[in-house]
Amino acid sequence: MKLWLNVECGDTPVIKVTRLDNREVVVNADLVEFVEATPETIISTTTGKKLVIRESVDEVIRRALEYRRRALPLIKTAANAS
């Protein structure tokens, strides 16, 4: 069972962020390896990709945690149904 934060994004666990040119993109929350401020915020993924975004490190953390908070009850429900 796959979970998602935004229904429009299909069955992928994503968070929305904004590139420096104001284009909105979605990032698979499960692939985020680390986030750093250099002073721009850079998301590095487990696949080796890097995204430079407008949101702060704290905002990316907040969005990722919000995704996890929404996903955890669904995971527990699915596990109990097995």
Domains and CATH numbers, the chain: 7-81 (2.30.29)
- What pLDDT score does 50 carry? 97
Residues 2-49: tens digit of each pLDDT: 333 444 444 457 899 999 999 999 998 889 999 999 989 999 999 999
Q: Please tell me whether the overall predicted TM-score, pTM, comes out greater than 0.75 for this model.
A: no
Q: Distance (Å, rounded) from C-alpha 3 to C-alpha 71?
A: 6
Query: 17-26, 47-56, 70-79: which has the minimum mean pLDDT?
Result: 70-79
- What pLDDT score does 1 carry? 32
- What pLDDT score does 51 carry? 96
- What pLDDT score does 6 carry? 44
Q: What is the chain's percent helix, strand, coil content, to nearest 5?
A: 40, 30, 30
